[in-house]
Amino acid sequence: MKKLYQGKTKDVYELNDKEVLLKFKDDVTGKDGVFDPGQNQVGLTMEGAGHSACLLTKFFYEKLNAKGLNTHFVSADPDKNEAVVRKAKVFGNGVEVIVRYRAVGSFIRRYGQYAESGMKLPAYVEITLKDDDRNDPLITKDALEILGIMTGAEYDELVGLAKNIGEFVKEELAKKDLELYDIKFEFGMVDGKVALIDEISGGNMRAYKGDEYVEPLKLEKILLEDVK
């Protein structure tokens, strides 16, 4: 298979003119050996992280597809740490979408003068450009339109979909007495419609049980304890 892209946490291979294969790796984002889903660099390697990411991606995407929410997911084989997805056209060179329910991470680093760490947020959505050289800058709806990255209608559809998917993930975690603090998504155009792409895993969200942060591999075990 032809490798199309080598990413931080997964590699992408071409299957045919409509589908690609995602191969999950054990690398996770962070800094100085500390996991942080808000970072744009590989911070550490966690054995089993790729398998965990594939399992959770399969778990969430199958449920999202069943609910009629638009995604690129086709199937997954956790034994191989692989998923088959439909090809998507990304916005510009790619955008990341963060849905925040608590003020943590980069939100506090930017707005700590006005916010207390851990304060509740009303499903606040941020969009950043995928641009390592510029540390994934935040971008507004107006700028996205001006730069031709996406239309206003696409932006509104994306934000609405991000909130709906974020709320679904939040509810699934709540069933296990877990609280979702924030989650990072990626979106693209699939068959002419805005769709969720990439993965949903412990590596792109922050979850807490009470005041205790739940690490990605532990999160997968908690969420899937009744599934396996």
pLDDT higher than threshold 80 for residue 35: no
Q: Rounded to a whole number, what is the largest CA-CA distance in the chain? A: 50
Mean pLDDT of the residues in the chain: 92
Of 25-39, 67-81, 134-148, 201-215, which range is least confident?
25-39
Of residues 40 and 188, the one with the higher pLDDT is 188
pLDDT on residue 49: 86
Q: Which residue has the tokens 């690129």?
A: 72
pLDDT on residue 192: 94
pLDDT on residue 55: 94
Q: CA 103, 174, 25: angle at the middle one, nearest 5? A: 75
Cβ atoms within 10 Å, residue 54: 25
Per residue in 9-23, pLDDT (tens digit) is 889 999 999 999 999
SS (H, E, C) the chain: CCEEEECCCEEEEECCCCEEEEEECCEEEEECCEECCCCCCEEEECCCHHHHHHHHHHHHHHHHHHCCCCECEEEEECCCCEEEEECCEECCCCEEEEEEEECCCHHHHHHCCCCCCCCEEEEEEEEEECCHHHCCCECCHHHHHHCCCCCHHHHHHHHHHHHHHHHHHHHHHHCCCCEEEEEEEEEEEECCEEEEECCCCHHHEEEEECCEEECHHHHHHHHCCCCC
Q: Report the alpha-carbon distance of residue 88 to residue 190 in Å, rounded.
A: 5
pLDDT on residue 108: 96
Contacts of 187 (CB under 8 A, 6+ apart): 91, 95, 97, 158, 161, 162, 194, 195, 196, 197
Per residue in 97-154, pLDDT (tens digit) is 999 999 999 999 999 999 999 999 999 999 999 998 999 999 999 999 999 999 999 9
Contacts of 115 (CB under 8 A, 6+ apart): 103, 107, 108
Q: Beta 193-197 vs 179-190: how paired, if at all?
A: antiparallel
Q: CA 117, 118, 123: angle at the middle one, nearest 5? A: 120
Of residues 84 and 35, the one with the higher pLDDT is 84
